[in-house]
Structure formats: C-alpha cells, structure tokens
Amino acid sequence: MLRHEFRPGKLVAGLFLTVAGITYAGDAGDAWDTPWFAVIPIVVGGLCLAGVVGLLARAVRNHRDSRRTSTPAEADRTPPQPPQPTVPN
C-alpha cells in the first residue's frame, strides 16, 4: 500500500463539515430544532481553523525537510557547474 502525506487541515475541515451535516440531519429528523443560521459559524469557523492547521503543518513539514536536505555530505555530491561562455561586445 502506498503511503501518503498526512494532511491535518483536511481532517479538521472534514470534521467540522460532518458536524454541520449531523446538525442539519438531526433537525430534519425532528431530533432537535436548529435555526437556519446556526450552521454558518460552524462551517466558517471550521474552514478558518482548517486553514490555520494546514499552514502550520506545511511550515513544520518544510522546516523538517530543509533540515533533512542540508547535510554536508549531500552538498559535496553536487556536480560543479560548467563555466559560462563570455560574449564579445
């Protein structure tokens, strides 16, 4: 099985949208009474929180990857660049 990156922002967005769906389903099934505007803060707040979590996860991932690739052994293995030809004026 192929491994994939963990995306916590998508997880948070999915959880909040699931809560919004459960809220509407409970209202439709007469389990409780939900005002029409009650789901808007749930969805907007969840999407904002998912964006923050996604940005934080990207920053952590980039920081971890930059530490991993900046080893001196890899820097020695890069081939030298060929000299650039000079153009007469």
What sections of the chain are H helices per DSSP?
8-28, 39-69, 72-76
Contact assessment for residue 50 and residue 77, using Cβ atoms and an 8 Å cutoff = no
pTM: 0.68
42-54, pLDDT tens digit by residue?
999 999 999 999 9
Per-residue pLDDT averaged across 62-68, rounded?
82
